[in-house]
């Protein structure tokens, strides 16, 4: 009789359209032992149906580091004369951390200042010389018209004397003028010639003096420019020496806390091409970063701004939140495994998290909307009786779950959705949020989860 019922049931299922098979159906389980609710709960390992979102995550390990970590060094060589801070000291921007012996640098500043002051005095001297040459040029240029006027007057006198001479010679040729008069006029003409030559020579000499005065002005200007350039150079050397003197006081570049100190008082620094790290300052421990390593197979699911959670061994059972800040494109290959650095940022207002702590992080790559979810074990469960008598009973679909209803194990078909490895979203017409799922069977000694894919 029971075989006949099963045969009829199989025929009914075969007649149902394929689309109807996706709807939840209840399989007759009268062939299973009938149990009360208490007996069923005692026999089976159960779990409730939950309405929750399915979250997919990627697990990674990393290390906590300060969001701002600065290495403070020294550009100068010398002996550390004073040390003002130690580990864990809070410092302000510009605060002196240590001092070098500054005597030689102070002497360099004094020498540079003396040279600069001398250059300024020399520049003043050249400025005065330039003013004097400009005045000489002015005087020489203003005397030039006088000599020009004298030359012009001598030329007019010569022209007058030549006319008188020509008239006297004309009169003497007609025996009107005496020979002595002609000779006197000729002497005046010769004297006018001499005066003109002298005036022209004086004019040429004055013109040469103007050119010489102009050359003196140009030379004085060049000397002044050279002195000014030297003064600028010496001033720069003075500033450089003063800067070196200031650098003997090693100051903090930011507000923060000293997390590293590599020098002691009295130690001698010998800097070369690279400045030695003297202090390490964590800029702000209220903000921390986590450098995690993500494999190339998982990196495609990581995006900036994704949420993450992490734990540290120092606080077992406590979960901290973080956010993906940066995905660094530089790959690292270790033992033929390619990984990428993913930086997470997290708040640390209580400063419980310390630099260097090992982190176990979970980056959320996907969130499914809230829906009905069941454990993955519920989809894998099959009753032992059904497995032993599969030739006598219908084979339940792989996408099915078993629930306890009125003390009976009832198989319900479901449609699977998103999953995260432990839970899966299901949709079903008859599965209720109040149902009790069967995920395994208990034995006399230990619970046993049975089933297969």
Specify the CATH number for the domain of residue 276.
2.40.50.100
Q: Is 396 left (phi over 0), alpha (psi -120 to 50) or beta?
A: beta
Query: What is d(CA 311, CA 358) in angstroms, rounded to the nearest whole number?
Result: 9
Q: Is residue 291 part of a domain?
A: yes
Here the tokens at position 272 are 């070369």
Same domain, 113 and 211: yes
Query: What is d(CA 195, CA 189) in angstroms, rounded to the nearest whole number?
Result: 10
Same domain, 190 and 91: no
Report yes or no: 71 and 287 within 8 Å, Cβ to Cβ: no
Number of domains in the chain: 4
Q: Is residue 260 part of a domain?
A: yes
Question: Which one has a higher pLDDT value, 369 or 170?
Answer: 170
What pLDDT, on the 0 to 100 scale, is given for residue 125?
94
Q: Is residue 453 part of a domain?
A: no
Same domain, 336 and 411: no
Q: Is residue 21 part of a domain?
A: yes
Same domain, 226 and 267: no
Instruction: Mark which of 246, 261, 296 sits at the end of a domain.
Output: 246
- 39-98 pLDDT, tens digit per residue, is 455 578 888 888 777 778 899 999 999 988 899 998 888 899 999 999 989 999 999 999
Same domain, 22 and 6: yes
CATH number at residue 351: 2.40.30.170
CA proximity to 417, closest of 54, 56, 58, 57: 54
**Average per-residue pLDDT for the chain:** 82
pTM: 0.58
Same domain, 155 and 75: no
Lowest mean pLDDT among 15-24, 81-90, 127-136, 341-350: 15-24
Same domain, 397 and 290: no
Share of the chain above pLDDT 90, in %: 47
| pLDDT over 50 (residue 337) | yes
- Determine which helix (DSSP H) or strand (DSSP E) holds 325, and give its type and residue range: strand 320-334
CA distances from 399 to 137, 412, 447 (A): 112, 9, 23
**Residues of the domain holding 336:** 58-67+283-367
Same domain, 178 and 240: yes
Same domain, 125 and 228: yes
Q: What is the dihedral of CA 360, 366, 367, 368, to 10 degrees?
A: -140
What pLDDT, on the 0 to 100 scale, is given for residue 274?
63
**Any idea what the Cα angle at residue 227 is, between residues 224 and 228, rounded to 5°?**
85
Same domain, 169 and 224: yes
**How far does Cα 74 stand from its chain's mean position?**
22
Question: Which one has a higher pLDDT value, 79 or 427?
Answer: 79
Handedness of CA 365, 369, 373, 379 (dihedral sign): negative
Query: What is d(CA 380, CA 47) in angstroms, rounded to the nearest whole number?
Result: 13
Helix (H, G, I), strand (E, B), or coil: what is residue 34? Answer: coil
Same domain, 158 and 76: no
């Amino acid at each position: 009789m029971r075989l006949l019922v099963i045969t009829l049931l199989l025929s009914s299922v075969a007649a149902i359209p394929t689309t109807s098979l996706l709807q939840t159906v209840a399989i007759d389980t009268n062939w299973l032992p009938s149990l009360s609710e208490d007996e069923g709960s005692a026999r089976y390992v159960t779990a409730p149906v939950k309405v929750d979102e399915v979250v997919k995550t990627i697990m990674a390990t990393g290390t906590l580091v300060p969001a701002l970590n600065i290495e403070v060094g020294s550009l100068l060589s010398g002996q550390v004369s004073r040390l003002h801070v130690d580990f864990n000291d809070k410092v302000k921007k510009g605060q002196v951390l240590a001092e070098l012996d500054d005597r030689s640098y102070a002497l360099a500043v004094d020498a540079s200042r003396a040279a600069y002051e001398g250059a300024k005095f020399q520049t003043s001297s050249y400025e005065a010389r330039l003013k004097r040459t400009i005045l000489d040029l002015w005087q020489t240029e203003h005397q030039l018209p006088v000599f020009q006027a004298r030359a012009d007057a001598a030329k007019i006198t010569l022209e007058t004397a030549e006319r008188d001479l020509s008239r006297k010679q004309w009169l003497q040729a007609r025996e009107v003028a005496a020979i002595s008069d002609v000779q006197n006029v000729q002497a005046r003409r010769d004297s006018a010639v001499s005066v003109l030559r002298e005036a022209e020579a004086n004019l040429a000499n004055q013109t040469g003096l103007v050119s010489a005065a102009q050359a003196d002005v140009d030379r004085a200007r060049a000397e002044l420019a050279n002195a000014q350039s030297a003064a600028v150079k010496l001033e720069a050397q003075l500033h450089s020496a003063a800067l070196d003197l200031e650098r003997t006081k090693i100051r903090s570049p930011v507000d923060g806390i000293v997390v590293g100190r590599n020098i002691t008082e009295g130690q001698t620094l010998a800097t070369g091409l690279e400045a030695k790290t003297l202090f390490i300052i964590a800029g702000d421990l209220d903000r921390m970063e986590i450098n995690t390593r993500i494999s190339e197979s998982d990196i495609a699911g990581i995006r900036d701004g994704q949420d993450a959670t992490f734990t540290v061994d120092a606080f077992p059972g406590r979960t901290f939140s973080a956010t993906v800040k940066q995905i660094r494109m530089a790959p690292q290959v270790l033992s033929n495994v390619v990984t990428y650095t993913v930086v997470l940022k997290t708040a640390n207002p209580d400063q419980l998290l310390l630099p260097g702590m090992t982190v176990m992080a979970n980056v959320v790559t996907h969130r499914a909307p809230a829906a009905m979810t069941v454990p993955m074990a519920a989809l894998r469960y099959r009753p032992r009786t059904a497995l032993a008598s599969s030739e006598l009973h219908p084979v339940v679909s792989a996408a099915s779950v078993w629930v306890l209803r009125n003390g009976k194990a009832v198989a319900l078909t479901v449609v699977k959705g998103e999953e995260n490895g432990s839970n899966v979203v299901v949709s079903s017409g008859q599965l209720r949020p109040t149902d009790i799922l069967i995920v395994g069977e208990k034995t006399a000694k230990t619970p046993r989860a049975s089933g297969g894919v």
